[in-house]
Chain A
Amino acid sequence: MSAKRAAICAVAQLPFEKAIWHKRIQEMCFDVVEPVLEQTGVKFCKKPGDGGIRSIVTVSDDVFDARTISNNAIQDAVGAHNRGEDKVAMDGINAIAYAVSCILSGHDDLILLVGHCKESQAESRNMCTNLAFDPFYLRPLGLDFETLNALQARDYMAKSGVTDEHLAKVVVRSRRNAAKNPVANARDEVTMEEVMNSPMAYDPLRELHIYPQSDGAIAMLIAGEDRVKEFTGKPVWVSGFGNCMDSYFPGDKDLASNFPLKKAAKLAYRMAGVTDPAKEFDFAELNDAAAYQLPMWAEGVGLCADGAGGEWIDGGGMEKMNVNPSGGMLAGNPIMLGGLARAAELVIQLRGDAGERQVAGARRGVANGTTGAAGQLQSVLVLENDRAGR
Chain B
Amino acid sequence: MAANKKNRNVAIIGIGQTQYSSHREDVNQPEMINEAVKLALQDANLTKDDIDCFMHGNMELFEMVHQPDLWHVLGTGAYGCSEFRLTTGGTTGITLVCAADNLVASGMYDIVLAVGFEKLQEGHTTGGITNMADPLWGRMLQTGALTGTCAADVINEFGEDRARRAAMKHRIIMDQHASRNPNSHRSFGLEMDQLEDLMENSPRLVGDLRLIHMCSQSDGACALIFACEKKAKELSDKPVWIRDHVTTHREETLWMYPLDLSQKEEPTHRKAPRELFERNGIDKPVEYFDVFEMYDPSSWWGMDWIREFFLLEGDEHIRMVENEDIRIEGKMPICPSGGVVSANPIGATAMVRVAEAALQIRGDAGGHQVPGDVNHALASGFGGTLWTILVMLEKELDWE
Complex contact B248–A84 (CB within 8 A):
yes
CB-CB under 8 A from A359, the residues of chain B are none
CB-CB under 8 A from B223, the residues of chain A are none
A213 close to B (CB within 8 Å): no
CB-CB under 8 A from A73, the residues of chain B are 134, 252
Complex contact A82–B103 (CB within 8 A):
no
Residues A241 and B108 in contact in the complex (CB < 8 Å), given A66-B131, A85-B249, A136-B28: yes
CB-CB under 8 A from B99, the residues of chain A are 86, 98, 101
CB-CB under 8 A from A260, the residues of chain B are 80
Complex contact B102–A98 (CB within 8 A):
yes
B150 close to A (CB within 8 Å): no
Complex contact A72–B89 (CB within 8 A):
yes
CB-CB under 8 A from A132, the residues of chain B are 65-68, 70-71
Of A64, A88, A135, A247, the contact of B73 (CB 8 Å cutoff): A247
B264 close to A (CB within 8 Å): no
Of residues 8 to 50 in B, which have CB atoms within 8 Å of A's CB atoms? 28
Complex contact A69–B2 (CB within 8 A):
no
A225 close to B (CB within 8 Å): no
Complex contact A98–B86 (CB within 8 A):
yes
Residues A86 and B86 in contact in the complex (CB < 8 Å), given A68-B129, A75-B249, A107-B105: yes
Complex alpha-carbon distance, A55 and B247, angstroms:
8
B interface size (C-beta, 8 A): 69
Complex contact B105–A105 (CB within 8 A):
yes
B400 close to A (CB within 8 Å): no
Complex contact A69–B89 (CB within 8 A):
yes
CB-CB under 8 A from B246, the residues of chain A are 84
B288 close to A (CB within 8 Å): no
A324 close to B (CB within 8 Å): no
Of B7, B74, B278, the contact of A106 (CB 8 Å cutoff): B7
A131 close to B (CB within 8 Å): yes
A155 close to B (CB within 8 Å): no
Residues A267 and B6 in contact in the complex (CB < 8 Å), given A48-B279, A81-B249: no
Complex contact A244–B81 (CB within 8 A):
yes
Interface string of A191-229 (1 = CB under 8 A from B): 000000000000000000000000000000000000000
User: Taking the nearest CB of chain B, how far is it from the CB of A54, in angstroms?
Assistant: 4
Complex contact A76–B252 (CB within 8 A):
yes
A353 close to B (CB within 8 Å): no
Interface string of A131-167 (1 = CB under 8 A from B): 1111110000000000000000000000000000000
Complex contact A245–B132 (CB within 8 A):
no
Complex alpha-carbon distance, A168 and B104, angstroms:
44
Q: Which of B2, B132, B245, B271 has the most CB of A within 10 A?
A: B2
Complex contact B67–A82 (CB within 8 A):
no
For the residues of B in contact with A, the DSSP-based class is mixed
- The stretch among B53-61, B317-325, B363-371 that forms the contact with chain A is B53-61
The residue on B at minimum CB distance from A64 is B66
Of A69, A106, A243, A373, the contact of B88 (CB 8 Å cutoff): A69
The residue on B at minimum CB distance from A130 is B66
User: Taking the nearest CB of chain B, how far is it from the CB of A270, in angstroms?
Assistant: 11
A104 close to B (CB within 8 Å): yes
Residues A106 and B108 in contact in the complex (CB < 8 Å), given A89-B67, A89-B87: no
Residues A104 and B106 in contact in the complex (CB < 8 Å), given A55-B2, A86-B98: yes
CB-CB under 8 A from B1, the residues of chain A are 54-55, 84, 86, 102, 107-108
Complex contact B4–A90 (CB within 8 A):
no
Complex alpha-carbon distance, A102 and B249, angstroms:
17
User: Taking the nearest CB of chain B, how far is it from the CB of A5, in angstroms?
Assistant: 11
Of B83, B88, B248, the contact of A87 (CB 8 Å cutoff): B88
Of A66, A82, A105, A371, the contact of B271 (CB 8 Å cutoff): A82
The residue on B at minimum CB distance from A259 is B80
B95 close to A (CB within 8 Å): yes
Complex contact B250–A105 (CB within 8 A):
no
Complex contact B249–A80 (CB within 8 A):
yes
CB-CB under 8 A from B82, the residues of chain A are 242-245, 267
Complex contact B384–A69 (CB within 8 A):
yes
Complex contact B70–A372 (CB within 8 A):
yes
Of B2, B69, B102, B132, the contact of A68 (CB 8 Å cutoff): B132
B275 close to A (CB within 8 Å): yes
B residues whose Cβ falls under 8 Å from a Cβ of A: 1-7, 28, 54, 57, 59-62, 64-71, 73-74, 78-89, 95, 98-99, 101-108, 128-129, 131-132, 134-135, 245-252, 268, 271, 275, 278-279, 383-385
A residues whose Cβ falls under 8 Å from a Cβ of B: 1-2, 45, 48-49, 54-55, 61-64, 66-69, 71-73, 75-76, 80-90, 94, 97-98, 100-109, 128-129, 131-136, 241-248, 259-260, 263, 267, 271, 371-373, 376-377
Given A86-B247, A243-B82, A245-B80, 13 other A-B residues pairs in contact with their CB atoms under 8 A:
A68-B60, A69-B87, A71-B89, A82-B268, A86-B88, A98-B103, A105-B105, A105-B106, A107-B101, A107-B105, A129-B66, A136-B28, A372-B67
